[in-house]
Amino acid sequence: MSAAKDALLVAGIDVGSSAIKVVMLEDRVGEEPVVLVARRERIRRRDPREVAETLFGQSLKQAGVKQDDLDYIATTGEGESVEFRTGHFYGMTTHARGGLHLVPEARTIIDIGALHARAVQMDERAKVLGYRMTSQCASGSGQFLENISRYLGITIDEIGPMSLEGDDPEQCSSICAVLAETDVINMVSRGISKPNIIRGIHQSMAGRYMRLVGAVGARGVVLVTGGLAQDVGLLAALNEAAEKKTKGKAAVEVRAHEQSVLAGAFGAAMWGAFRTRKLRAKGVHFGAGSEAGAGTGA
């Protein structure tokens, strides 16, 4: 396919610790971008660069375009390893832009990935106004939940629904991943049910995330992005924590979008289109993969 005269064909590739995300858009000035491809592939102990290249090739085929047809290939996350990129953008700016596209009323995002979480406050143009990140400890991450799910003998997809079944949650006493896993072992030995263990873990994680949200001064709609945005149990725990934390103050509503996990890739593609138009207005023209106009911000 070919884009309309005033449209740009752009791609966003978000290279995460556990999954690769690819979004391809037809971007037109003053209009909502047309989504050509929106895909995600878990890495599962494979070479991230090979997974990214394979998924990108499949995405080109799905969109019916060739790589040379693209006006910009933008990467984010660990995307510097993608050699055919045009430019690279910081994760905070891409998640902010992608989050604002998915939920226009959001002014704060919580990006929860496999290894860390961060709260980012932004304005109506997706300009980052401030941010806070979790510490190096992994007990507030997706990887921690995966480790716990393996120990409990359940899949990562079962965690969210199972958490909602908990009626007497037992919270972990430690924020250290290693000690928290020890807590879980002790809970199992004491006969605590899996739903109550998982719900307790979610409540502990939600408390940490809401402290980040409070630190950036969030108000109104807070959008969860990243891999754990699909965890319905964590979302429920976040809203419970928000209600407790903001009682008597300005309300915070935590939401997720069905494409929240792709927010970084959406944002990368959209910033790629923005940069392309800016450079072309200055008379700078380049093709995908040329590295011309590459940058880390927008």
Q: Does domain 7-91+262-281 have CATH number 3.30.420.40?
A: yes
What's the CA gap between 230 and 157, in Å, rounded? 9
The secondary structure of the chain, three-state, reads: CCCCCCEEEEEEEEECCCEEEEEEEEEECCCCCEEEEEEEEECCCCCHHHHHHHHHHHHHHHHCCCHHHCCEEEEEECHHHCCCCCEECCHHHHHHHHHHHHCCCCCEEEEECCCCEEEEEECCCCCEEEEEECCCCHHHCHHHHHHHHHHHCCCHHHHHHHHHCCCCCCCCCCCCHHHHHHHHHHHHHCCCCHHHHHHHHHHHHHHHHHHHHHHCCCCEEEEEECHHHHCHHHHHHHHHHHHHHCCCCCCEEEEECCCHHHHHHHHHHHHHHHHHHHHHHCCCCCCCCCCCCCCCCC
- CATH topology for 104-256 is Nucleotidyltransferase; domain 5 (3.30.420)
> Where, residue-wise, is CATH 3.30.420.40 in the chain?
7-91+262-281, 104-256
pTM strictly above 0.75: yes
- Residue type (1 letter), 27: D
In terms of Cα–Cα distance, which of 278, 280, 265, 290 is closest to 74? 265
pLDDT of amino acid 287: 58
Residues contacting residue 159 through CB under 8 Å, at least 6 positions apart: 145, 148, 149, 198, 231, 233
Torsion of CA 200, 205, 209, 210, to 10 degrees: 20
Predicted confidence pLDDT, tens digits, the chain (298 residues): 555 567 999 999 999 988 999 999 999 988 999 999 999 999 988 999 999 999 999 999 999 999 999 999 999 998 788 999 999 999 999 999 999 999 999 999 999 987 788 999 999 999 999 999 876 555 557 778 888 888 899 998 899 999 999 999 987 765 566 677 788 888 999 999 999 999 999 998 898 899 899 999 888 999 999 989 999 999 999 999 988 876 656 688 999 999 999 999 999 999 999 999 999 988 887 655 555 444 445 5
Q: What is the pLDDT of residue 126?
A: 94
**pLDDT score of 113:** 84
pLDDT of residue 181: 76
- pLDDT at position 250 is 61
